[in-house]
Amino acid sequence: MDKDLRTAESVCAGHPDKLCDQIADRILDECLRSDTHSRVACEVMATKGRIIIAGEISCAGKSNVRSIVRSVLSDVGYEPFDFKVQVYLHRQSPDISAGVSQSLEVRAGSDDDSKAIGAGDQGTMYGYATNETHEMLPLPVVLAHRICKRVDEVRQNGILRGSLPDGKAQVTIEYEDDQPKRVQAVVVSVQHTSEKDLRALKQEIYFQVLLPCFEAFPMDDDTEVLINPSGRFVEGGPAADTGLTGRKLMVDTYGGLALQGGGALSGKDATKVDRTGAYMARYIAKHVVACGLASRCQVNLCYAIGKAVPVAVRVDTFGSETIPKHMIDHAVLNSFPLSPSGMIDLLQLRRPIYAPTAVYGHFTNPNYPWEQLDRCAVLESAVKKIQEHYSN
């Protein structure tokens, strides 16, 4: 039997990096409410007593950025007026704007509306899906997010008294023949007040957080459980650790258990293929698995700035495919629009839907448009046509 250990982490809403992601995406949503064609590339830095907002925003409306920042701080559990907010924003570069607004294909004479806009940047994006969980994500990723979400919930509703906004979790699962078999280790760290008894905190986290999170896939007597292994965790948040937008890419995506292109997701409007391409790649991979074409799928999309059509598309099924791999390749290309315009229109990405994505992963909420399985009939029809073609 082939055994290995796979680990993923997540962080709570009050983690400094996630605080920055939430602020960036809240600003993005506010821009989209006033102008659906806003161009937003918002970067946030959080440190002791300061929140710094920088980047490029072109929007027909106006947003009170400082008010948005203080609203996020309050929602997460920090005192808003403990922070000085500094804003350094300007409009998108006219050179970038021109390349996005009129794609290379249009400039070359194309009148195809699906190629109207070009990619907002170059880059390579990955999407992944597996049939090992209902969420079609690796089990360690699902469990780590579940723990952090539960920690935030019990803090906010008063069950976990004496806890503070910062925290993180890590889960290691033992796999056997590529299937999850048991929980090897769980690590949880939760910020707390100076008066909180650490023994009581550990018991409360174990019974109020961990046991509910592992009901469907229980820990066993040999599972190593580490709760606040460093001891006291009183000073946390931006006061203890500087936060930056886009620094928790593995938390946002697949926990390091699938490839990640390197481009951050939060704070970017849909013309930025770092975000839209990652969503479409996940959408495609999830459909491939849901339609039974493979048990695991990874999709890679590559773009050039200003160009509508991707420069490369790759589908990897890791030998788990149920039909010839080349048929899956052709079916994907025939079933999903891959230009920025096509992806934006299909997934309806000009709406203010992004703030919730900034915590607990971008692929964990079944209500996100890129998590929907609403194109299975299209993919299955494409597969059928390809099979008929090769059988004739």
Q: Which two tokens stand for residue 256?
A: 């390091």
Task: Tell me: pLDDT of 5 over 90.
Answer: yes
Residue 40 phi, psi dihedral angles, 5° rounding: -130, 130
Q: How confident is the model at residue 220 (pLDDT cuts 50, 70, 90)?
A: very high
Task: Tell me: pLDDT of 322 over 90.
Answer: yes
Q: How confident is the model at residue 106 (pLDDT cuts 50, 70, 90)?
A: confident
Q: What is the DSSP letter of 255?
A: T
Q: How large is the average pLDDT for residues 299-324? A: 97
- Which tens digit of pLDDT belongs to each residue from 194-215? 999 999 999 999 999 999 999 9
Task: Tell me: pLDDT of 154 over 80.
Answer: yes
Catalogue all structural domains in the chain, each as residue range(s) with its CATH number. Answer: 3-11+139-235 (3.30.300.10), 16-98 (3.30.300.10), 123-133+249-386 (3.30.300.10)
Q: What is the DSSP letter of 235?
A: S
Q: Please tell me the predicted confidence (pLDDT) of residue 99.
A: 80
Q: Burial level of 21, CB count in 10 A (0-12/13-18/19+)? A: buried
Residue 165 phi, psi dihedral angles, 5° rounding: -65, -30
Q: Please tell me the predicted confidence (pLDDT) of residue 391.
A: 86
What does the H/E/C string look like for 302-371? EECECCCCCCEEEEECCCCECCCHHHHHHHHHHHCCCCHHHHHHHHCCCCCCCHHHHCCCCCCCCCCHHH
The residue ranking higher by pLDDT, 100 or 137, is 137
The residue ranking higher by pLDDT, 88 or 93, is 88
Q: Please tell me the predicted confidence (pLDDT) of residue 347.
A: 98
Q: Please tell me the predicted confidence (pLDDT) of residue 20.
A: 98
Q: Please tell me the predicted confidence (pLDDT) of residue 294.
A: 98
Q: How confident is the model at residue 78 (pLDDT cuts 50, 70, 90)?
A: very high
For the chain, helix (H) and strand (E) counts, in that order, are 12, 11
